Structure 1
Amino acid sequence: MRSFPSAPRRRAAAVTLAAALTCGLGTTLSSTSPASAEGLRDRQQEIQDRIAATRNGIDEASDRAQRANAALDAATGRLADARDELARLEGEVAAAADRNAELRVELAASEERLAAAQTALIAGRIAVAQTRTEATDTITSIYQGAGDPGLRTLSSFLSAGSLEDIEVEQQAEQLIVGRQTTVYDEVQTAEARLEATEAEVAEATDLVAAQQAEAARTVRRMRLLRDRAVTARDQVLELVRTSRSAKQAALAARAEDQKALVELERQEAGVREKILAAQRAAERAGTGYTGETAGLFTMPSGGSITSPYGYRTHPIYGYYGLHDGTDFAPGCGAPLSAMADGTVISSYSSEVYGNRLYVSLGNVNGVNLTAVYNHASSYTVGVGERVSQGQTLGYVGDTGWSTGCHLHFTLLENGTAVDPMTYL
């Protein structure tokens, strides 16, 4: 915001403005334009070039459109979540199916190993039984002295009388014990092999049981996941239908908003013609204000600026356009003030901007200035009335396409919106 001029300078400016109001078109300010005819044509072309960008350039949308777009956004979000959940479930089903196939292969191998181990166990038991029988027979033969070659040799020595009796008895005892030990070792080896086979069978049996249990759990999980995937797929289809309906509702709401904007343009076109006619008349009369504008005008409202003039992406419709004014938020019911002396040239209710008021400020430095107040709850002045700088014109409201009580203040130069803060 620019600083205001000193009191003497402010009074001089006010005198100049008052003098300007006594001549020209009605009670509006006017001045001799320093621009040539060619300059005006260039200015007109510039304005025309900006019309496409500024058209429909407001931040808000109708409540109907906001609700429809919110419903569409919500449906789109839910649909995206549902599709993600379906993809996750289908991935888990596929993983469970792959694991089930792996388990089948592993289980078949384990069952084959178990069968081999069981066969080996039976063979081992038979072998142990045979070894024990053979051991019993061998030991019996040893003690009977008939079956062992060493004992037969010893018996021949005894018969020949070539050794002392005691030595022969000792050797006989050693041969019997050694042979016994060999037989017992054979039995123990066979029994150890049998124990190992039994342990392998037990291990293979436990592994098969565990794999069977895991396979059963995997099958149950796969069936559960498939059921959940079917439910998720049904939800996706339902949300697709909901999203389609929400999109149709949003498109219908946008079409209604477009109709309202067309009507707004028609109304604005009528006011613009008045403004341009006043500007032309003031130029012909050669009257108006020329000079420094810093501090010449006052703020149209109190409160902080919540949205400045400028280009941005529309939050509802997504197009890049001009926010053609400055938004002030002084609170519901706060007074709206005339930024300078002027005349009310139009006042009407718009579906888009709510209650609107146009105040012509006349010609300043060769351009016609018009202050536009929007979204008011009501106005205290009507068309044709003279207003004085600082006079209360109405009260801040929430009418039209608005997201809360605020003043959307627009300043027009020859009917085209400019940044109000360059004057304030």
Structure 2
Amino acid sequence: MSLRRRSIAGVCALMVVVGGLTLPASADEREDLVNQQEQNAQREREIKSTLEGLDVNLQDAFLELEKTRSQIPRAEADLATAQNELAIAERQAQANAALLFSAKEELASISGELSTSSAAALQTKRKLAEIARATYRGETMPNAIDLVLGSASAKEFTDAYRVNAALTRTQSAAFTELSQSVARSKNRQSRQEAVEDRVEELKAESDALVVARDNARDVAQTHKDTLLELESSITAQTQSLEQRKAEFEASLVEVEKSQQAASARIAAIDEENRRREAERLAALNAAQQAAAAAQRASAAGGWLNPPIPGPLVVTSPFGMRVYPLGNYRRMHQGVDLQSACGDPQYAAADGVVASTEFDVGGGNIVYVNHGIHNGSSYVTAHMHLSAIKVAPGQRVSQGDLIGLSGATGRVTGCHVHFEVWQNGTAINPMGLPGF
């Protein structure tokens, strides 16, 4: 598989983010979500393809590590959301506490005003009581007629009248003050009752907000703990894989030996094809050889077809494959195509089944010899089959059933692995006209 050198963690970071998205509010958002899911699925297939050829236990260890890594973005998003909700809850609790403090201050002020007002009213009442008692004892000032008749002179009348008027004003002021004091007291009492009700409401709201804040803090802490546990797990799993480096290298060596053996077998088939073609051409006269050359030239189009019907979905392309542990590369000599377990695979062209075998890396394999075409020897290989439907030496025509897609060998899931060999060299099937 041709992949640029990159960390699987970076690829997997988006694999399961979709699981944390909310329901889209519009058709555009839904389309974006579907596209993201498709991209994530493709990335997951690419990651799995990088593990092919490794021992199954190593594959499981890598996949578990990447599964853990893929949970990091969701955990970080959950933590950020929880911390934001905690901040909101704390601000609400602080604002409510400020309102409650202000209400209590206002209540204390009203209580002070009521106390002062009550003292003033009491004093006014005492003044009025004294006036009432004086009136009862006959100690009040004479009326105007009594002042006139009882005054010896005009000056005495004027002085007596001024004193009497002052006392009258004092009595009137006392009555007015008492009336106003009573009105102010009633108003303050109404305010006091309203503020007391508000204080009780704020207390209840404060208690609820404190509970909400504490719950938000607990949720945030839980998400933080989860994130720390994931990071700790990633560290431990990475260290464990590093310790299995020798096992990893041995697994790749085993696969490399298997590939070399397959290359040798295909080279032998090519050699036999060329020998027979040479013998066939030698038996032809000059005119027949010219006709054969013309036929080869006219048959240069798409004579090889894909092993499964289209549309073709490439899950791992032809080319160098970079492994996730260390700077290890291995040639991916075929193309991986999306296919479910049990799907039929067909002969790409007419030919003879060269061999059927089981390989530690490739699983169940069918090699088909297509002989010489346009001057080149061609062999195709179908790998990881769940079932083989042909036998060695059997002649097949293009479109005949070869076997069923599977996941045998060192793979991470069902798919088609199809190889095309031209003159002993693996070529990219996707570059052929028929593909």
TM-score normalized with structure 1 length: 0.61
2: CA distance between counterparts of 1:255 and 1:396? 34
Deviation of 1:188 after TM superposition, in Å, equals 1.2
Q: CA separation in 1, counterparts of 2:186 and 2:99? A: 25
Corresponding position: 1:240 with 2:250? no
Identity of aligned residues (%): 19
Question: Which of the numbers 90, 110, 113 marks the counterpart of 1:117?
Answer: 110
2:299 aligned counterpart, secondary structure: coil
CA distance in 1 between partners of 2:416 and 2:70 (Å)? 33
Aligned with residue 387 of structure 1, among 395, 409, 414: 395
CA RMSD in angstroms comes to 5.2
2:423 is the alignment partner of 1:422: no
Contact 2:3 2:320 in 1 (8 A): no
Cα gap change, 1:422/1:64 in structure 2, threshold over 3 Å: closer, same or farther?
farther
Q: What TM-score do the two structures reach when normalised by structure 2? A: 0.60
Task: Give, in whole Å, the separation in 2 of the partners of 1:58 and 1:368.
Answer: 32
Q: How far apart in 2 are the matches of 1:181 and 1:257?
A: 109
8 Å CA contact 1:57, 1:323 repeated in 2: no
Query: Residues 347 and 396 of structure 2 are in contact (CA less than 8 Å); yes or no, is this contact kept in structure 1?
Result: no
Q: Distance in 2 between matches of 1:82 and 1:328?
A: 31
**Structure-1 residue corresponding to 2:404:** 396
Amino acid at match of 2:106: R
Superposed displacement of residue 192, structure 1: 1.0
Which residue in the other structure is 1:359 paired with? 368
Structure 1 residues 300 and 105, CA gap change in structure 2 (3 angstroms): closer
Q: Name the SS for the 2:382 alignment partner.
A: strand
Map of 1:200 onto structure 2 = 191
Which amino acid in 2 is paired with 1:201? Q
Shift of 1:92: 4.3
- 1:378 and 2:384 equivalent? no
Q: Is the 8 A contact 1:305 1:326 kept in 2?
A: no
Q: Distance in 2 between matches of 1:215 and 1:343?
A: 82
Q: Which residue identity lines up with residue 191 of structure 1 in the other structure?
A: V
Matches within 5 A, 1:29-68: 59=49, 61-62=51-52, 67-68=60-61
Deviation at 1:206, TM superposition (A): 3.5
> CA offset at residue 369 of structure 1?
1.8
Query: Which residues of 2 match residues 1-400 of structure 1 at below 5 A?
Result: 59=49, 61-62=51-52, 67-68=60-61, 71-138=64-131, 147-148=140-141, 152-158=143-149, 183-245=174-236, 260-273=251-264, 275=266, 282=274, 285=278, 287=281, 290-293=296-299, 297=303, 299=305, 301=307, 303-307=309-313, 310=317, 324-325=334-335, 327=337, 332=342, 334=344, 336-337=346-347, 339-342=349-352, 344=354, 347-376=356-385, 377-378=387-388, 380-382=390-392, 385=393, 387=395, 389-390=397-398, 394-398=402-406, 399-400=408-409
Deviations 1:301-326 (A, max 9, x none): 56445435956999996999978347
In 1, are the aligned partners of 2:368 and 2:379 still within 8 Å (CA)? Answer: yes
Contact kept? 2:125, 2:178, Cα under 8 Å: yes
Give the SS at the match of 2:190. Answer: helix
Retained in 1: the 8 A contact 2:337–2:416?
Answer: yes
Aligned counterparts of 1:128 and 1:67: Cα–Cα separation in 2: 89
Asked if structure 2 preserves the Cα contact closer than 8 Å seen for 1:336 and 1:392, the reply is: yes
* Count of residue correspondences: 356
Which amino acid is 2:113 matched to? A
Task: Measure how far apart 1:189 and its partner are.
Answer: 0.6
Distance 1:140 1:82 in 2: 85
CA displacement 1:367-386 (0-9 Å, x = unmatched) = 3322222233236433xx47
Q: Distance in 2 between matches of 1:248 and 1:52?
A: 24
| SS of structure 2 residue aligned to 1:403 | coil
Contact kept, 8 Å, 1:338 with 1:391, in 2: the verdict is yes
Check conservation: 1:378, 1:397, Cα contact below 8 A: no
Q: Which is higher, the Rg of structure 1 or of structure 2?
A: 1
Query: Secondary structure of 2:391's match?
Result: coil
- Retained in 1: the 8 A contact 2:356–2:367? yes
Q: CA deviation at 1:254?
A: 9.9
